């Protein structure tokens, strides 16, 4: 894949500022795009956009296709006239610098019900035509998801395996009867997805007009409590009660001495192959409707994945199992085009077969500077993550959502490693996050990306996720007063110095 030499920021939309308890697709998202443009950046990378379930993780979504309703902007609904200012009366006192999922979710759910009533009473004919087109175009997933989410809401958000057996096992008569009684709740879920799609399309157009492209993220596995697993249990390694027999994770690594037990059910790859990998084709087609490039999370799982018996409490006693390999990507190319705009997240335990698959597909991989500089402890710069080892077909990061912020990481390093790193960077330690940003920008790698926290000079308090921990993740938000124009000017100057440009507008 031919890449444009550019750079950008990693920021999930939930981390945007605003008065509604969570970042959304409205005015603050547009101001962030303006910041990117002023800083000469061409990319906005975000985490998976799906509706979050277990512990609010964007990597444990309740659908591989649907979008997160919490990202819908009340301000933009007010502008359309589908909400009234009085609908916002009684808004909870949300914190400024973190997401309070427990308070946001029920408040925004009520707003979206009001917005649907506003749509029914005041939408233009054009709006109604657009809605009908959306329903038809997204039929592969939308109807199943709307039914699943309506059922889940009716069952107080309990997992589908805890529903009445006839509904959990998708008995046709039981589903038909329930659907007839709850048509309005099901239609509400379709409408919510339409509203997201409408707002997202406007934001993407706004970004493109300013030379900014969007990078999305697809987790390789889907959550057990999801529309897809409930709708198509035959695609997954489940027992007769719908529970996983084996689950996904990774062996012990840098992040955890016991590995990571993700809990996702594993695919029955032969079943997916027999259907021509239609699930994956439609999944990638859907995300490419929303973004311009896609980071494939845990790319190594397509070559081989860590299979853990579901009864195990940690990931230690798993084993490697073969993935679908090149066959899957040949099916994707045949359906979606030869030049798939993908970034392979090739971190962790990477073996020759993973590298061969990535290189055969001519996909850029990833390099994380924090990992590279960890290896400078012994004074030998042999890590492929260090800038002098980079190649063009690569995306280099100062850190990812799974790392501490650069300043938080630096504060935890010993004096010897700091000295080695500053020698490498030719820095004085006064603004070490910017020393790392400059090193990434100066790399030969086509893409350079930085968490927003690193550009805003933030420490460990702004960490997005700590792998292996259960609480306190996915909450960070920046405040509006932290969006410093001087940081944009500095980033623009450095990006231009190292020959990185935004995309042409449009």
Catalytic residue list: 297, 345, 402
Here the contacts of 174-180 (C-beta below 8 Å, separation 24 or greater) are 175/147, 178/151, 179/147
Alpha-carbon distance 135 to 131, whole Å?
Answer: 6
Alpha-carbon distance 489 to 358, whole Å?
Answer: 36
Place of tokens 């198509």: 232
Q: Identify which of 395, 198, 190 has the alpha carbon closest to the alpha carbon of residue 290.
A: 198
SS3 assignment for 19-59: CCCCCCCCHHHHHHHHHHHHCCCCEEECCCCCCECHHHCCC
Alpha-carbon distance 427 to 434, whole Å?
Answer: 9
The greatest distance separating any two alpha carbons of the chain, rounded to the nearest whole angstrom, comes to: 71
User: Backbone dihedral region of 128: left (phi > 0), alpha (psi from -120 to 50 degrees) or beta?
Assistant: alpha
> 3-state DSSP helix/strand/coil percent for the chain, to nearest 5?
50, 10, 40
Which structure tokens are listed for 162? 């805890």
Alpha-carbon distance 383 to 386, whole Å?
Answer: 6
Alpha-carbon distance 99 to 476, whole Å?
Answer: 7
Which structure tokens are listed for 247? 């689950």
The kind and range of the H/E element at 213 are: strand 213-218
Place of tokens 């799974």: 402
Place of tokens 């019900």: 113
Which structure tokens are listed for 309? 């018996």
Burial (CB < 10 A; 0-12, 13-18, 19+), residue 174, is middle
Q: What are phi and psi of 293, to 5 degrees?
A: -130, 160
Which structure tokens are listed for 11? 């920021």
Listed in sequence order, the residues at least 6 apart from 337 whose beta carbon sits closer than 8 Å to its beta carbon are: none
Burial (CB < 10 A; 0-12, 13-18, 19+), residue 254, is middle
Which structure tokens are listed for 264? 């996702």
């Amino acid at each position: 894949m031919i890449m444009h030499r550019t750079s950008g920021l990693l920021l999930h939309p939930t981390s945007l500022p605003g008065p509604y308890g969570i970042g959304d697709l409205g005015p603050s998202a547009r101001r962030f795009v303006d910041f990117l443009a002023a800083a000469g950046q061409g990319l906005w990378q975000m985490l998976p956009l799906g509706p979050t379930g277990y512990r609010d993780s964007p990597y444990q979504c309740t659908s591989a296709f649907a979008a997160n309703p919490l990202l819908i902007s009340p301000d933009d609904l007010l502008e359309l006239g589908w909400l009234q200012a009085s609908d916002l009366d009684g808004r909870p006192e949300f914190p400024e610098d973190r997401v309070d999922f427990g308070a946001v979710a029920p408040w925004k759910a009520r707003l979206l019900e009001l917005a649907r009533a506003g749509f029914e009473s005041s939408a233009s004919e054009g709006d109604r035509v657009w809605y009908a087109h959306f329903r038809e175009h997204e039929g592969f997933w939308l109807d199943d998801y709307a039914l699943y989410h309506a059922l889940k809401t009716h069952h107080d958000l309990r997992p589908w395996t805890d529903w009445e057996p006839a509904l959990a096992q998708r008995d046709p008569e039981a589903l038909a009867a329930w659907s007839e009684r709850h048509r309005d709740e099901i239609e509400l879920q379709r409408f919510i997805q339409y509203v997201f799609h409408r707002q997202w399309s406007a934001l993407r157009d706004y970004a493109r007009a300013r030379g900014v492209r969007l990078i999305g993220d697809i987790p390789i596995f889907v959550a057990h409590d999801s529309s897809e697993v409930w709708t198509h249990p035959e695609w997954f390694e489940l027992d007769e009660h719908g529970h996983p027999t084996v689950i996904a994770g990774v062996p012990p690594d840098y992040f955890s001495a016991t590995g990571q037990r993700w809990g996702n059910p594993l695919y029955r790859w032969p079943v997916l192959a027999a259907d021509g990998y239609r699930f994956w084709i439609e999944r990638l087609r859907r995300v490419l409707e929303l973004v311009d490039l896609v980071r494939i999370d845990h790319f190594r799982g397509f070559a081989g994945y860590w299979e853990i018996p579901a009864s195990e409490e940690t990931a230690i006693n798993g084993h490697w199992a073969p993935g679908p390999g090149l066959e899957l990507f040949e099916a994707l190319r045949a359906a979606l085009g030869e030049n798939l705009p993908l970034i392979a997240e090739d971190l962790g335990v990477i073996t020759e077969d993973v590298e061969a698959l990535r290189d055969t597909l001519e996909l850029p991989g990833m390099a994380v500077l924090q990992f590279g500089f960890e290896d400078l402890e012994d004074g030998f710069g042999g890590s492929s993550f260090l800038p002098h080892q980079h190649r063009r077909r690569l995306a280099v990061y100062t850190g990812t959502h799974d790392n501490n912020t650069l300043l938080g990481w630096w504060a935890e390093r010993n004096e010897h490693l700091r000295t080695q790193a500053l020698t490498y960077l030719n820095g004085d330690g006064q603004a070490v996050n910017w020393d790392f940003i400059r090193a990434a920008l100066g790399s030969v790698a086509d893409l350079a990306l930085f968490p927003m926290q690193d550009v805003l000079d933030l420490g460990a308090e702004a960490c997005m996720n700590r792998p292996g921990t259960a609480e306190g993740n996915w909450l960070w938000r920046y405040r509006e007063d932290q969006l410093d124009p001087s940081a944009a000017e500095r980033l623009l100057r450095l990006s231009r110095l190292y020959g990185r440009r935004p995309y042409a507008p449009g």
